[in-house]
Amino acid sequence: NYWNAASFVTSSSYLHFSTFQGETSADISFYFKTSASDGVFLENLGNTDFIKLELKSATEVSFSFDVGNGPVEIVVRSPSQLSDDQWHRVHAERNVQQASLQVDQLPLEVRKAPTEGHTRLELYSQLYVGAAGGQRGFLGCIRSLRMNGVTLDLEERAKVTPGVKPGCSGHCTSYGMYCANGGKCVEKYNGYSCDCSRTAYDGPFCIKDVGAFFEEGMWLRYNFHSPGTSMKDLVSRTLLSSTDPEITAPDLSLNKEELSFSFSTTKSPCVLLYISSYTQDFMAVLVKPTGNLQIRYSLGGTKEPYNIDIDHRNMANGQPHTVNITRNGRDIVLQLDHYPPTSYSLPATSDIQFNSPKALFLGKVIEIGKIDQDIYKYNTPGFTGCLSRVQFNQIAPLKAALRPTNASSHVHIQGELVESNCGASPLTIPPMSAATDPWHLDSGFPAISTSIFISLFTASADFPYNGQAIGDGVNRNSAIIGGVIAVVIFTILCTLVFLIRYMFRHKGTYHTNEAKGAESAESADAAIMNNDPNFTETIDESKKEWLI
């Protein structure tokens, strides 16, 4: 019902429904989108009573009615144009006590009902949505019209009404931004959808990661050149072109690439990704024996490949990491996780064309011909871990392997590929400065608090001493996690101390009024008489008799 809509194409167009039953209460809500400056949304008439909602001007919405006490009008004025061809929501209510009108998130306008007079809204005509009684009707689209909790079927009525069309167009203008990660918004008459076919994501809004777990020795190859298709035809269809479909590579080479993926592993060295060619050109993303990341480019013109080494972070720590690489000519931009992007540049003697790309490998390189010596060494036993949301320009090899698409014929897999999102959602956080780091010793914590926290979690976390920077993201995360655990333990201890004191504050010795000698007395009365000397006198006085 949210997308049940109708488009009014002329100012005399309208839909009619049965009489609105809102004698003592009315609750009306709907969305509208228009480029016109005025028009009647809906109206229902009686002998003298009526109820009407209209767009009075490009910035005003009016709610008017008459229950027999004279016309009442409530107007909401918007500081911005309502005729901007964007969706706006109207909500009008009326009961025996008051009436109100709200547009979008603007302040609610309220009008109190008179203490005396008529309270029932008596209507007899049909309910008109759009033009009525010769008035200028609404031009545009109305959807999700609900009256006293009932959604009116605008689409079904519009199918048999001239001048009104079922559904709306232009949804992507308002909601296209919800198609994330390069997803394309596709118009539908009753809404919109997101086309995720050229992304590495899935789901209705292209935000679901598509990933898989790789066992040792497993690999995936995506062939850019499928059987029966010439390389020139393939590239001209922009499978290998950049995200701009107008940019192609008619000379079978690329002068720009966009590569992004997420991974997690605990083993090194390994080959994460390798792109081969029909020439000696290649590109590789490796994890070195030290656990550091290396990006390697060989485009010709140099004796040795150009290497980008990330030596200050251990990437083989089991945490998910994201890698984004963009090359445009000689300029390379690399971003890891949430850290700021870093720029690099190919040597002046290097070519800038990636000539005749052939295949993309994940996990291991199985290629005929000469392979770089380091890559050959890192290739055994292969990658073990998770890869997710892999995308090279407009190609998503993992998604092609796990989802039946037209590109599935390009994929060859060695081993059993099991879908998993274990490589998604990077956990590594950006580094914090000493001024903002709450665990830094010079951050202004009281000495006693700092000593408590240190004593609680120093044994299990690497705490920076005397301002020493944490070596990498893993140690920093361990320190933060240890600090949180310390705070929780400290809070639990304080709570237990408080509860123990509360439970035992009345426990101990206490006094009673039990008479002395109760142990040897025959009864309680006897014990009282033995203990209280006045008790006997009281008894004797009560036994005296008087003769009248």
pLDDT in tens, 8-62: 988 888 999 999 998 899 999 999 999 889 999 999 999 899 999 999 999 999 9
The pair of three-digit structure tokens given for residue 371, joined into one six-digit string: 């392979």
- Count the Cβ atoms, other than its own, within 10 Å of residue 311: 11
Which residues contact residue 310 at a Cβ distance below 8 angstroms, ignoring those fewer than 6 apart?
Answer: 292, 293, 294, 334, 336
CA distance 440 to 84: 51
Q: What is each CA distance from 140 to 2, 256, 516, in whole angstroms?
A: 17, 44, 98
The pair of three-digit structure tokens given for residue 180, joined into one six-digit string: 């994330």
Average pLDDT over residues 488-495: 90
Is it true that 5-166 and 210-226+252-419 share their CATH fold?
A: yes
What is the topology classification, in CATH, of domain 5-166?
Answer: Jelly Rolls (2.60.120)
Using the predicted structure, report yes or no on whether residue 100 has a pLDDT greater than 90: yes
The pair of three-digit structure tokens given for residue 316, joined into one six-digit string: 């083989």
Please list the alpha-helical segments (H only) found in 466-507.
Answer: 473-503
CA distance 356 to 524: 112
Q: Is 217 exposed, middle or buried (0-12, 13-18, 19+ CB in 10 A)?
A: middle
pLDDT in tens, 181-212: 889 888 775 678 898 988 889 899 998 889 99
CA distance 363 to 216: 9
CA distance 452 to 198: 53
CA distance 523 to 189: 97
Cβ atoms of 260 and 211 closer than 8 Å: no
- Look at 266 and 529; give whichever has higher pLDDT: 266
Closest to 393 (Cα-Cα) out of 111, 141, 200, 142: 200
Cβ atoms of 21 and 28 closer than 8 Å: no
Q: What is each CA distance from 487 to 43, 461, 475, 479, in whole angstroms?
A: 62, 14, 18, 12
In percent, the amount of the chain with pLDDT more than 90 equals: 32
Query: What is the model's pLDDT at position 356?
Result: 87
Q: Is 160 exposed, middle or buried (0-12, 13-18, 19+ CB in 10 A)?
A: exposed
What DSSP state is assigned to residue 120? -
Enumerate the β-bridge partners of residue 334: 325, 342
Three-state DSSP class for residue 344: strand
The correct answer on CATH 2.60.40.2140 for the domain covering 210-226+252-419 is no
Cβ atoms of 175 and 3 closer than 8 Å: no
Average pLDDT over residues 92-106: 94
Average pLDDT over residues 450-456: 40
E strands, 104-240, are: 109-112, 127-130, 140-147, 150-151, 164-166, 184-188, 191-195, 201-202, 208-209, 211-214, 219-223
Which residues contact residue 131 at a Cβ distance below 8 angstroms, ignoring those fewer than 6 apart?
Answer: 11, 12, 13, 14, 39, 40, 137, 138
Cβ atoms of 225 and 394 closer than 8 Å: no
Q: Where are the domains of the chain?
A: 5-166, 173-202, 210-226+252-419
Q: What is the helix (H) or strand (E) element at residue 448, kind and residue range?
A: helix 447-457
Max mean pLDDT range (51-55, 429-433, 528-532): 51-55
- Count the Cβ atoms, other than its own, within 10 Å of residue 80: 11
Cβ atoms of 164 and 13 closer than 8 Å: yes
The pair of three-digit structure tokens given for residue 517, joined into one six-digit string: 């000698």
CA distance 401 to 362: 12
pLDDT confidence of 530, banded at 50, 70, 90? low
Cβ atoms of 428 and 337 closer than 8 Å: yes
Query: What is the model's pLDDT at position 381?
Result: 82
Query: What is the model's pLDDT at position 189?
Result: 58
- Look at 326 and 456; give whichever has higher pLDDT: 326
Using the predicted structure, report yes or no on whether residue 252 has a pLDDT greater than 50: yes
Three-state DSSP class for residue 419: strand
Buried-exposed string 48-65: b where 16+ CB fall within 10 A, e elsewhere:
ebbbbbbbbbbbbbbbbb
Lowest mean pLDDT among 182-191, 292-301, 304-313, 332-341: 182-191
Using the predicted structure, report yes or no on whether residue 451 has a pLDDT greater than 60: no
- Look at 367 and 535; give whichever has higher pLDDT: 367
Lowest mean pLDDT among 75-89, 381-395, 398-412, 429-443: 429-443
Using the predicted structure, report yes or no on whether residue 474 has a pLDDT greater than 60: no
